[in-house]
Amino acid sequence: MLVEYKMFEKILIANRGEIACRVMRTAKKMGIRCVAVYSEADANAMHVAMADEAYYLGPAPARESYLRADLILEIAQRCGAQAIHPGYGFLSENEKFAEDCERAGIAFIGPPASAIEAMGSKSAAKLIMENAGVPLVKGYHGDDQSEAVLQRAADEIGYPVLIKATAGGGGKGMRQVWNSAEFSAALASCKREAANSFGDDKVLVEKYLTKPRHVEIQVFADSHGQAVYLFERDCSVQRRHQKVIEEAPAPGMSDALRAQMGEVACQAARAIGYVGAGTIEFLLDQDGSFYFMEMNTRLQVEHPVTEMITGQDLVEWQLLVASGEPLPLAQDELCINGHAFEVRVYAEDPDQDFLPATGQLKHLRTPKTSKFVRIDTGVREGDSVSIHYDPMIAKLIVWDKDRVSALARLRNALADYQVVGVTTNLKFLSHLAANQAFIDEDIDTGFIARNKDELLPPAKPVSDEVLALASLYTMLKRDAEAKAQAARSRDPHSPWNLITGWRLNEDNYHHLLFVREHDHVREELAIQLHFRPEGYLLELSGTELQVSGDFGPDEELRANINGKRLTAQVVEHDHSLIIFALGDAYRLGVKALSAGGDSDDGHGRLSAPMPGTVIAVMVKAGDAVQKGQALLVLEAMKMEHTIAAPVDGVVAEVLYQAGDQVQGEAELLRFETV
């Protein structure tokens, strides 16, 4: 007998940013009306503009807005939403919220509360998986959380070990420990971060594999007892235990190993009565053995690479399954087509240990989308990256027929990505996509540390060609301004309104002064620019360049340098020119800027790298400190940042205490060098 299932007419997305926009795109395609919620910081956000209705939650901090489960449920009832999609993060793995939705007669577009609860604790999840016959890494997952018991367990397991918060995820509350002497301090830091991030400081300890790969299986199950796997993703390249680039399928994966891991993943899902989209994460060792790490009971950030190689819309699958329908396809109907990569474009500084960045997106240009290139984002030009939420700007996803072709697509797309206003990881991602070890599939979770010098090379000096572009841009802008001024003047034909080189009894040239940085050295570059009928003659560094050009569509700079034609996008920001050209981005100061830094009176200063909250102070005035010693811990963007002594010295004054809020660049303490 044919059973008819009724699809939702209206859903509420209990999330923000990129994932809220992603869910809405599929829902609208299916004819479903979408309700957004927003915090004070997100009043003008992209996901609010996309929604059919939007409701205010509260102030910017997540605990006062996006984590207000009671208010979100009340809004869903008030607006007549039949289901809630939690996205990822926030309430997506909150079993109580799932239970409350069920009691209120509102479908939770995710697994049953019992499955979330079963996998919500990493230690409990491992016991369930062990009973289900899923292979595990040796470790301690017990309830006794005393330091002595945890230390003894680590000593018995053998170093190195990994301490992990049993709740939450996203790389928070995780510490690698290489010997017994480091364990106590690492445990305290891990528990503190876990408590702040998840409200639960319980941890587990497990053996740390030195060269594993992080391979995860996308599973899907319905309420009719069916479960399938949509193959695997390799997420091995990580910083701060958070993924940087994901690809599907995993390189070097045999059909036999893929089937084995897939069946184990489905077995794990069945063991907890799973329904919906989920991810089983495994550590894959060099010998082909694999071990259960954790299960994410939600849609993953990296789900688009799976969609690209299978041709399936996983959000559509979620909506179908949540409305009671069976899975759209059986296992033997699923197949892999081509290869896909996803990189996370973040507001962060890779040169400063990937420290999150904040600011306004003054200029934003993205690659053209097609069947080969996809961009999932929740921001637009002019939006701000704040301290309150994850600093991801977008996900860039590429697809092609094989890994080599897809990597080429990725390199080209990254070269076309332009962001001004916040520091980003775009250049780092470009180095990664071009890295020979990555191209050769020499990948594991220690990839970034092992290839750090190649992935984070010193900044290259700005070439004469780029200086020529900066000079041409400057003169064309000045010419446009002069013409506008002439048009407004009483005598628009006056030669004093021109910059064409006409001077009374003077040679026809201008001086331009730029500043470029190379190997932490600031260099002033004086350029003499002579006017010529066909453009300009530039004298710089003993070289002469003939330059001409104009502005094309979208203010694109079209240049001819010694007969070579090229285009560039130039953006003015913070007394500098940012020049996007030749597949890279270059920054030139338009005047000498103060380098800042330490004073020369023997007193050092340590500043907050970004706005945040002081959560621990380890020293007091008068304490002698050694280079590298932890002085203070700052929490920003839900992560801990330890401020350490840059040199040996004595603390002269502590300016903030635990609990204090600080602004970016605020001086935290003073010390005297010895």
CA 555-499-476 angle, 5° bins: 15
Q: In what order do the strands lie in the sheet with 161-165?
A: 139-140, 203-207, 161-165, 174-177
Q: How far apart are CA 71 and CA 58, in angstroms?
A: 10
133 backbone φψ class: left, alpha, beta (φ>0; ψ -120 to 50): left
> At 214, which helix (H) or strand (E)?
strand 213-221
C-alpha to C-alpha distance for 172 and 600, rounded to whole angstroms: 38
Task: Please compute, for residue 492, the number of CA atoms within 13 A of its CA located in the half-sphere on the CB side.
Answer: 7
Among candidate residues 16, 175, 233, 298, the one labeled active-site is 298
Please name the residues in contact with 71: beta carbons below 8 A apart, sequence gap of 6 or more: 57, 58
Answer yes or no: are the C-beta atoms of 14 and 72 closer than 8 Å.
Answer: yes
CA distance 389 to 115: 27
Q: Which residues of 385-412 are buried (b: 16+ CB within 10 A; e: fewer)?
A: bbbbbbbbbbbbbbbbeebeebbebbbe
Amino acid (one-letter) located at 230: L
Nearest residue to 233 via CA among 129, 126, 135, 341:
341
3-state secondary structure at position 115: helix
Residue 576, beta-bridge partner list: 573, 589
- For every residue of 161-205, DSSP letters joined together read EEEEESS--TTTTEEEE-SGGGHHHHHHHHHHHHHHHHS---EEE
Whole-angstrom distance, CA of residue 92 vs CA of residue 106: 15
Helices 403-415, 426-434: crossing angle, 10 deg rounding: 150
Active-site annotation holds for 365: no
Interacting residues of 182 by C-beta distance below 8 A, sequence separation 6+: none
Rounded (10°) CA dihedral 69, 72, 76, 79? 160
- Report which residue type is found at 384: S
DSSP for 518-532, please give it.
ETTEEEEEEEEEEEE
Contact partners, residue 596, CB within 8 Å, separation at least 6: none
State how far the Cα of 299 lies from the Cα of 314, in Å rounded to an integer: 8
User: Could you give the CA distance from residue 20 to residue 51 in angstroms, rounded to a whole number?
Assistant: 9
Show which residues are catalytic: 298
